[in-house]
A = this chain, B = another copy of it.
Amino acid sequence: MQELGTRARAAQRLLAKADSGTKRAALGTIADALLAAQDGILAANALDLDAARTNGMTDSLLDRLTLTPERIAGMVQGVRDVASEDDPVGHVRWGAVRPNGLRIEKITVPLGVVGVIFEARPNVCSDAAALCLMAGNACILRGGKEAIHANTAIADTMRAALTASGLPADCVQLITDTSRQSATDLMHAVGLIDVLIPRGGAGLIRAVVENARVPVIETGAGNCHIYVDAGADIDMAANIVYNAKTSRPSVCNAAESLLVHKEIAATALPVIAAKLAQKNVELRGDAATCALLPAAKPATEDDWGTEYGDYIMSVKIVDNIDEAIAHIAHYSTHHSEAIVTQDYARAEQFLAEVDSAAVYVNASTRFTDGGEFGFGAEIGISTQKLHARGPLGLGNLVSEKYVIRGSGQVRC
């Protein structure tokens, strides 16, 4: 780790001097190289898939591990898209001339060395590396052992392309030791890693938060709620809940929990449930919900705090918006929450009082996404309060520094 980190630091110093054009050109070369290396990457991925099947990996994990020509084309396009975004480095965010004549500017600079720890999704390799590179950061990637062959093929391809572009290969490094110790070493690399970003499920994120000594940006966990207010447009509510739950249940901005005002529950819940039944969504409700919806199963305390990532939704009938907001404050992961309402004051109350990265009125939680917000590619959705909240795009992969020009000033 010491050696890896030292090499990353040295490479980053050179990368930091590269102008936007050089970075864009290098990303173009990386994209071309990934496309040219497609056969080798697919062959490496086949080795991973063989091992995964032998080890009895579940279908949904196998799906995430699998690369195809189409998925590699998507990775390549992702790198090209990042290359076409604004360079986030070198923006002057604030400036002043002080009474003593000091000229102060606050400018954006790269974060430095970014660690990315992820699971068995080889596309994260190129997605994360491209974002880091464009923001002037060296990255140290540590993926799941299930994807080690594909990750190695992808990282080697990117490193060779960096060299061909005149940038240090060590701007992108993959930790090929996939032992638990290597993950711990990365989390403890104080002074070597400026920021560590976990990209994966709740278990990975919890492990990183509990063990990391380097600064972490927490991403991803999404126990998202939709509250259907008294007097809501029931068809709109059913559409939004259906979209938020079923359009892609495995992602973090999918809704997991439905709260319904007691005054509208008897009319709204059957309509919403009928819509969700089109996708065989299992409902787990409190007693009042189960009384209205015979097909619903009783929810346990655990259900309220669970991110199912599946065609399951918890349902609770609440007395009023305050109970809904209190429930969300207690159980939410503070990712994305929505209210469906026609009432102006309650819409504004929900926006003001719900403390999550994204809070919606009359829209699906599924919009919490860098692309949908117009930011381009993202490295995850931050659910912490520090640094950045919501979609983490290129503009969040920078730090800042103060640059001060004087003429001999000393402090009294």
Contacts and interface: CB of A to CB of B under 8 A. Distances in A.
Given A213-B210, A367-B102, A411-B247, A401 B372 contact: no
A363 B210 CA distance: 42
Contacts of A358: 401-402, 404
A203 interface: no
A386 B385 contact: no
Nearest to A358: B402
Contact of A385 (B194, B366, B388): B194
Interface stretch (A124-132, A232-240, A261-269, A283-291): A232-240
Nearest to A354: B401
Contacts of A389: 399-402
A175 B96 CA distance: 40
A220 interface: no
B357 A402 contact: yes
A109 interface: yes
Nearest to A325: B13
A385 B215 contact: yes
Tell me if A's interface is mostly helix, strand, loop or mixed. mixed
A180 interface: no
Interface string A199-243: 000000000011001011110000000000000010010011011
Contacts of A409: 362-364, 367
A153 interface: no
Interface string A378-412: 00000011111110000000011111111111110
A104 interface: yes
A16 B329 CA distance: 14
Interface residues of A, number: 71
B216 A215 contact: yes
B402 A390 contact: yes
Nearest to A360: B404
Contacts of A109: 355
A100 to B, nearest CB: 8
A98 to B, nearest CB: 6
Nearest to A215: B386
Contacts of A16: 353, 355
B408 A372 contact: no
Interface in A276-324: none
Query: Which are the 8 A-B pairs with shortest beta-carbon distances?
Result: A363-B406, A243-B410, A385-B399, A366-B411, A387-B387, A358-B402, A363-B409, A386-B387
26 contacts: A16-B353, A98-B373, A98-B374, A102-B367, A190-B209, A209-B213, A210-B213, A215-B384, A217-B386, A239-B410, A240-B410, A242-B410, A243-B411, A244-B410, A351-B405, A358-B401, A359-B403, A360-B405, A361-B405, A362-B405, A363-B410, A367-B409, A373-B402, A386-B386, A389-B400, A389-B402
